[in-house]
């Protein structure tokens, strides 16, 4: 496990080219700078906050 991330998810990121690493047999060696770059650039979790509604009044 890498930083609280499931092994399957790390494999998915590696195979998808999101992070870099080298495969040794059945194991992967992951390059820490690529993981840090991925974490810095990934989108925040959850739904974006709603903008406040502005009330318009007729004059």
Residues 40-56: pLDDT tens digits?
888 878 877 777 555 66
What's the pLDDT band for 29 if we cut at 50, 70, 90? very high
Looking at residue 39, its pLDDT comes to 86
CA distances from 6 to 1, 10, 12, 54 (A): 5, 7, 10, 43
pLDDT tier at 13, thresholds 50, 70, 90: very high
pLDDT over threshold 70, residue 7: yes
Task: Calculate mean pLDDT across residues 4-29.
Answer: 90
Q: What is the radius of gyration, based on Cα positions, of the chain?
A: 20
Q: What is the pLDDT of residue 6?
A: 86
Domain boundaries, the chain: 7-41
């Amino acid at each position: 496990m890498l930083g609280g991330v499931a092994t399957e998810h790390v494999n998915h990121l590696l195979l998808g080219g999101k992070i870099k690493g080298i495969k040794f047999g059945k194991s992967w060696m992951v390059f820490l700078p690529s993981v840090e770059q991925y974490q810095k650039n990934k989108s925040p979790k959850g739904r974006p906050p709603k903008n406040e509604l502005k009330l318009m009044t007729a004059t």
